[in-house]
Amino acid sequence: MTLAPAPVLTGPAASALELIGKTPMVEVTRIDTGPCRLFLKLESQNPGGSIKDRIALSMIEAAEREGFLKPGGTIVEATAGNTGLALTLVGQAKGYKVLLVIPDKMSKEKIQHIRAMGADVRLTRSDVPHGHPEYYTDMAERLAQQIPGGFYVNQFANDANSEAHFRSTGPEIWEQMGGDIDAFVAGIGSGGTITGIARYLKSQGSKAEIVLADPVGSTLAGLVNEGVPGPEGGYTVEGIGQNFVPDTADMTLIDRAYSIPDAEAIATVRELLLKEGVLAGSSSGTLIAAALRWCREQTEPKRVVTFVCDTGAKYLSKVYNDAWLADHGLTERELRGDLSDLITRKYASGDVVSVGPDDTLDTAFKRMKGADVSQLPVMENGRLVGILDESDIVHVMDTDEITRAERFSQPVRAAMTRELDTVQVGEPLDALIPLFDRDRVAIVLDGETFVGLITRTDLINHLSLNR
């Protein structure tokens, strides 16, 4: 079949469900791919923003056909977020209630999105292994059994998961690439994507190498490359990687695997946005980093396909937030061996939200809310002259002498604290403890120059990252 040289517009769809699939493919042209050509299938263009829309529709329709899901029923699932979004999209369109169990490390954008769509969200621990009662799959299965009419989707052992990719994603890739594929790269969350597409490619006689992209800390790459589980650990990438082999995953189809550190995945996905203009999620960084490693190892031109699994709009507070990355040790930082190493938001870099003494308390409070902080340094002509925290504002509000509007219109200088608890940047960590014992934030100076603030959380985070 010959593809159209340009996108073909179609008439309006009857519902968002009709827009699932038929996603575009784009070639990477501004990132070093060695002698190879790398193509990205933009699953972020599905109506729910991810590749999981495909399996949600497939699994719900299969449950309806088989009588497991009846009118008025409740869809229950354990999810890293995207399958939950997709199930809610499909479930709401079909009139079902949706209950989702989500590990607490997932981005707030995903959780807010799901709740806004009307799903019942239960957060659970992300630091416990498969088999623990608070592990997300164990909790979801238990809840489904307790709810009348509840149907546990179980994407990890649902044949309709891989079948969706065998019937739709695989054929689309084959058509878009004209059957010319040398390698296909995917991750394993539930296992359906890599299994379904690999099976389809092999059914067409393709000799494409099937490559697993796995986060460091997931055990699956070890099973592929050495036949034993790899070292287990924590990772921040969402949606892929496991400490067990899902029933949906056919590991015999996979030829090789790459373990990708979080920092490499995040750097890759940010480079993708910077150079190719594609806003992708964290798991896409793992996939594309693995694909780039494969491409750069080749000595002859090859054609490689992987995914933009979901939109990066769901990770703006994490992957695309420099302060969050610094807090988690995922950026390249020059360490000086002094208290500045604890400060991820430095005043000299423009990262500190501050206020002036003549700004109003209303302005100060709005800046606190916008930056999600409880205190602001007060700066005048580049010099620290005070600090304002929530308690200072409360004290001004706690009077009947003036109206509420007048209280908020007062200048910051009327409420700020001028007696500052400061430490010099070269002092030891122990110098922070007396300040924290008095419920103060540490104001760090280099001579008379303001460097930044250190909170208890900053200290704990520093000790955690440098155990």
Residue 461, Cβ density class (10 Å: 0-12 exposed, 13-18 middle, ≥19 buried):
middle
Adjacency order of strands within the sheet including 449-454: 422-424, 442-446, 449-454
206 Cβ neighbours under 8 A, 6+ residues apart: 174, 179, 181
Sequence-distant (6+) residues with CB within 8 A of 438 are 421
Q: What helix, strand, coil percent values describe the chain, rounded to 5?
A: 40, 20, 40
Residues annotated as catalytic (active site), given as ranges = 52, 283
Q: Check: CB of residue 377 under 8 Å from CB of residue 450.
A: yes
Here the tokens at position 12 are 């309006």
Distance of CA 437 to the CA centre of its chain: 35
Burial code of 287-317, b = ≥16 C-beta within 10 A, e = fewer?
A: bbbbbbbbbeeeeeebbbbbbbbbbbebbee
Other beta carbons less than 10 A from residue 357's beta carbon: 16
Q: Left if phi > 0, otherwise alpha if psi is -120 to 50, otherwise beta: which for 346?
A: beta
CA distance 394 to 398: 6
DSSP state of 430: G
| Residue spans of beta strands (DSSP E) within 218-374 | 256-260, 303-308
SS (H, E, C) 310-349: EEHHHHCCCCCCHHHHHHCCCCCCCCCCCHHHHCCCCCCC
C-alpha–C-alpha distance, residues 350 and 111, integer Å: 30
Fill in the amino acid letter for 178.
G
